[in-house]
Amino acid sequence: DAEITQSPRHKITETGRQVTLACHQTWNHNNMFWYRQDLGHGLRLIHYSYGVQDTNKGEVSDGYSVSRSNTEDLPLTLESAASSQTSVYFCASSDRSRPLYNEQFFGPGTRLTVL
Amino acid sequence: GQQLNQSPQSMFIQEGEDVSMNCTSSSIFNTWLWYKQDPGEGPVLLIALYKAGELTSNGRLTAQFGITRKDSFLNISASIPSDVGIYFCAGQRQTSYDKVIFGPGTSLSVIP
């Protein structure tokens, strides 16, 4: 079955370190998104991509970067981790070719703790 | 910043009761989506709405796209313990192709 996976599921790192969170989907979706979830804020968009080589900044992109070298993967990199980036990170994808392309499908999440 | 408001923020109900929650915005939306998130999991899409006034059901869940295009409602009938979770609304604005904005969520607890 097609799916969307994230790794690692849990990560503890130190302030200043570079961290990369992986997202992999097997639906062949064009669109991929990264969100962070914090208490009281719901889901906030970090970066998104409409296809290979395309990346766009979302609402809370400072301190994060993404790259899209193939359809299946959109890794999220924290260049220099800060304690304010402690959060739960969700990856999502959607298919622009479907009539209901707004339907985003989410991965299981990565819980990141920055000490 | 936050552009969608959800109410109530949290609710505690008895098993078997009906539940109503809503999502409002000052902006007009093309699409309304309702998601449910179980603890430790990613959000799962429950219902998608694409036309003003549209009423759509998914089992015991019913959602409506408000006539003004600025709000949406979700009702759950005859609640059961597995309904526990956080319910998020999400909307796509006319000027925001493919992106959706999420509300802060309504936390539902069901007392057996």
pLDDT tens by residue, A2-59: 699 999 999 999 999 999 999 999 989 999 999 999 987 789 999 999 899 999 999 8
Distance, in Å, from the CA atom of B33 to the CA atom of B103, rounded to the nearest integer, reads: 10
**pLDDT at position A46:** 95
Give tens-digit pLDDT for B72-87.
999 999 999 999 999 9
In terms of CA atoms, which chain A residue is nearest residue B88?
A42
- Tell me the chain B residues in contact with residue A40 when contact means C-beta distances shorter than 8 Å: 104
Q: What is the pLDDT of residue B85?
A: 95
**How many Cβ atoms from other residues are within 10 Å of residue B50's Cβ?**
15
Task: List the end-to-end C-alpha distance of chain A, in Å, as a whole number.
Answer: 37
Surface of B (41-70) touching A: CB under 8 A: 41-45, 48, 50
User: Whole-number mean pLDDT of chain B?
Assistant: 91
Residues of A in contact with B102 (CB under 8 A): 35, 42-44
Whether A1 has a pLDDT exceeding 80, the answer reads no
Q: How confident is the model at residue B101 (pLDDT cuts 50, 70, 90)?
A: confident
Check residue A98 and give its pLDDT. Answer: 60
For residue B41, give the H/E element and its range: none
Which of A45, A102, A107 is nearest residue B42 as measured by Cβ atoms? A107
pLDDT given for residue A95 in this prediction: 82
The predicted structure's pLDDT at residue B53: 94
Nearest CA in chain B to A101: B98
Minimal Cα–Cα distance from B56 to chain A, Å? 14
What's the pLDDT tens digit per position in B8-36?
Answer: 999 999 999 999 999 999 988 888 999 99
Q: What residues of chain A lie within 8 A of the CB of B104, using their CB?
A: 40-42
A–B interface: beta-carbon pairs under 8 A: 57
Residue of A45, A61, A102, A111 for testing the chain B interface, max B β-carbons within 10 Å: A102
Which pLDDT score is estimated for B94? 64
Contact B80, B110 (CB under 8 A): yes
A78 in Cβ contact with A62 (< 8 Å): no
Is residue A58 within 8 Å of residue A11, measured between CB atoms?
no
Record the tokens describing residue A37, joined without a space. Answer: 């979830």
Strand ranges for B15-83 from DSSP E: 19-25, 29-37, 44-49, 55-58, 61-65, 71-76
| Mean pLDDT, rounded, for A76-99 | 90
- Residues of chain A whose C-beta is under 8 A from some C-beta in B? 31, 33, 35, 40-45, 48, 50, 58, 90, 92, 94, 96, 100-109
CB under 8 Å to A34, separation ≥6 — which residues? A21, A23, A45, A46, A47, A48, A58, A64, A66, A74, A76, A89, A90, A91, A92
State the pLDDT at residue A39.
Answer: 82
Q: Where does the pLDDT of residue A104 fall: very low under 50, low under 70, confident under 90, or very high at 90 and above? A: confident
Please give the C-alpha separations between residue B110 and each of A43, B37, B99, B103, in angstroms, as whole numbers. Answer: 24, 15, 32, 21
Six token digits for residue A89: 């990170």
Q: At A85, is the secondary structure helix, strand, or coil?
A: helix
pLDDT greater than 60 at residue A100: no
Query: So what's the pLDDT on residue B59?
Result: 95
Give the C-alpha separation, A74 to A53, whole Å: 10
In this prediction, residue A101 carries a pLDDT of 59
